Structure 1
Amino acid sequence: MFASLTAECGQLWRLRGLLAVLTRREIGARFAGSAGGLLWVWLPPLLTVASYYLVFDVVFGMRLGGQAPTTRVGTYLIVGMLAWMAFADAAQRGMNSLLEAGGMLQKNPLPPGLFPARAVLASGVVFAPLVVALIPLYAGAHHFGPGVWAVIPLLALQGVLSFLAGYLLAILAAALRDVVQVVGVLLSLGVFLSPVLFPVTMFPAGWRWLLWLNPMTAPILGYQSALLQGAWPAWPVWAVLLAWIGVLAALLSLAIGRSRDQLVDWL
């Protein structure tokens, strides 16, 4: 079932030096020609999360109910939104990576997975440090609860999830360009079908199963548990996250096997 994906990952490991070079170039291309340099990579997400804190916690002083993992609205929003922005950025860049690299793939027999991997790694370099930086900022609220370190494996698993989703979408986008538009809409709407903007307890009980159709629901709940409460995420969080990774891995392996002979022509 996973033979095609395993072979592709083996190629990526053998070409890890080239992948590192491509990732550095991808990051450099984001701020090439700008005086601010690397600052422009981190400034947009930093300003976004800072505005949440300023508007909801400082200016309006809004509070959540007692069943929420924290009472502060802005503090709650930052955790989920930062994770969602990381996933959306990685998925979109991964989806577009093969279309952008079409000319290179037509001239060089490179494994296609190099390009989604490059896009996802570059996105991780931008967002992972921001999520890790929340650990000392949030730890004071729960006196550095040991569960806060769950952020590290959550980030690693989210990276795997993002790569699988980005590569799968890249193949589908190569076959049908409409996928790019559809995914853009789904990423805009998906934030409302996840516990980013509201705690799970505020969602109608009979419809909560819809939240689990979003692959980012489990990671977001995990980050909220770790950062807001200092508690290790409950086992369903890990089980659902691993299930999503398994499903996407199976679909991606099937897509790689089916598209191997036509992919370059599609591009």
Structure 2
Amino acid sequence: MLSDARALLRLRCLLGQLTLRELKARFAGSAGGLLWAWAQPALGIAAYYLVFDVVFALRAGQAEGGAAAPRLGSFLIVGMLAWMAFSDATQRAMNSLVEAGGLLQKNPLPPALFPARAVLASALVFAPLQLALALAYWPMHHGAWAVAALLPLVLAQAALAWLLGYLLAVLTAALRDVAQVAGFLFSIGVFAAPVLFPMSMFPERWRALLWLNPMTAWVLSYQAVLLQGQWPPAQAWLAVLVWLAVLAWLLNAALRRVRDQLVDWL
């Protein structure tokens, strides 16, 4: 894996060109062009706000200490934006090697280039939305210093998507059924993280199971920063580091075993 990281650094200019080409290719032939990349998730976020905050004016559970709980739409947007960014980047990275199979068979390019391209293209779409969300939620976090935690969180999330997406891409190259199973897990994974509900509403004896979802740590961190203006809890930072370390170890082990056969599988 370190060899792949050095290759990505060496080919950073090529990686940048490939990333821009992928973004343009997604919306080639449309009048809106790259604007659709931001319009689609932004319209989804606006729908959450309109339905749950403006129309129904619902609250997300009960706040502690007698304070008012955040509006449900504002609560959902924080978690859903993080989940959409993670899901989009990881699933695109997962399919990247199969889609680039012909190119890899004809050119001696490092396979890591294509999951990285997919993650970077997704990051260029969702990172500006995360910044806009931080500005929109200014009345909630009051510009607290905790907002500075967003940068390492976003970078760590991109690393998570690359590690998991690359690992799934290797497994998908070996067995195409992996992509089908992973797609199903991503569709239900949003219900196994505190995205649609506060952590406190989940039964306490089953609450530890939520940490098996890699995005739980990030969602709780974003909620702490944007909704409360507080630094993410220590257990969330610890879970972030554990997930990155475990996925790095698994990916490194997988690459050691399949390096010679990977291109042949494609």
Tell me what 1:259 maps to: 258
TM-score by length of 2: 0.97
Tell me what 1:72 maps to: 71
For residues 197 and 99 of structure 2, the distance between their equivalents in structure 1, rounded to whole angstroms, comes to: 36
Alpha-carbon spacing, 1:107–1:207, altered in 2? closer, same or farther (3 Å): same
Offset from partner CA, 1:36-87 (integer Å, 9 cap, x none): 1111111110111100000000001111233379420000000000000000
Tell me what 1:129 maps to: 128
RMSD of aligned alpha carbons: 1.1
Q: How does 1:88-99 map to 2 (within 5 A)?
A: 88-99=87-98
Question: What is the aligned counterpart of 1:40 among 15, 28, 36?
Answer: 36
The SS at the match of 2:137 is helix
Report percent identity of matched pairs.
Answer: 62
For residues 128 and 14 of structure 1, the distance between their equivalents in structure 2, rounded to whole angstroms, comes to: 24
Question: What is the aligned counterpart of 2:18 among 19, 22, 31?
Answer: 22
For residues 77 and 13 of structure 1, the distance between their equivalents in structure 2, rounded to whole angstroms, comes to: 36
Amino acid at match of 2:204: A
| Higher mean C-alpha deviation, range 210-219 or range 68-77 | 68-77
The unaligned stretches of length 5 or more in structure 1 are none
Tell me what 1:226 maps to: 225
For residues 183 and 35 of structure 1, the distance between their equivalents in structure 2, rounded to whole angstroms, comes to: 33
The SS at the match of 1:62 is coil
TM-score by length of 1: 0.96
Q: Structure 1 residue 54 and structure 2 residue 53: aligned?
A: no
Aligned pairs, how many? 263
For residues 28 and 167 of structure 1, the distance between their equivalents in structure 2, rounded to whole angstroms, comes to: 22
Contact 2:48 2:73 in 1 (8 A): yes
Structure of higher RCO (CA pairs closer than 8 Å, 6+ residues apart): 1
Offset from partner CA, 1:129-156 (integer Å, 9 cap, x none): 1011111111112321211221111001
Tell me what 1:191 maps to: 190
Q: How does 1:170-185 map to 2 (within 5 A)?
A: 170-185=169-184
Tell me what 2:216 maps to: 217
For residues 64 and 171 of structure 1, the distance between their equivalents in structure 2, rounded to whole angstroms, comes to: 39
Amino acid at match of 1:29: A
The SS at the match of 2:252 is helix
For residues 66 and 210 of structure 1, the distance between their equivalents in structure 2, rounded to whole angstroms, comes to: 22
For residues 13 and 140 of structure 2, the distance between their equivalents in structure 1, rounded to whole angstroms, comes to: 41
For residues 253 and 58 of structure 2, the distance between their equivalents in structure 1, rounded to whole angstroms, comes to: 47
Q: Structure 1 residue 157 and structure 2 residue 194: aligned?
A: no
Tell me what 1:119 maps to: 118
For residues 221 and 158 of structure 1, the distance between their equivalents in structure 2, rounded to whole angstroms, comes to: 13
Q: Structure 1 residue 7 and structure 2 residue 6: aligned?
A: no
For residues 91 and 226 of structure 1, the distance between their equivalents in structure 2, rounded to whole angstroms, comes to: 24
The unaligned stretches of length 5 or more in structure 2 are none
Amino acid at match of 2:84: M
Amino acid at match of 2:51: V
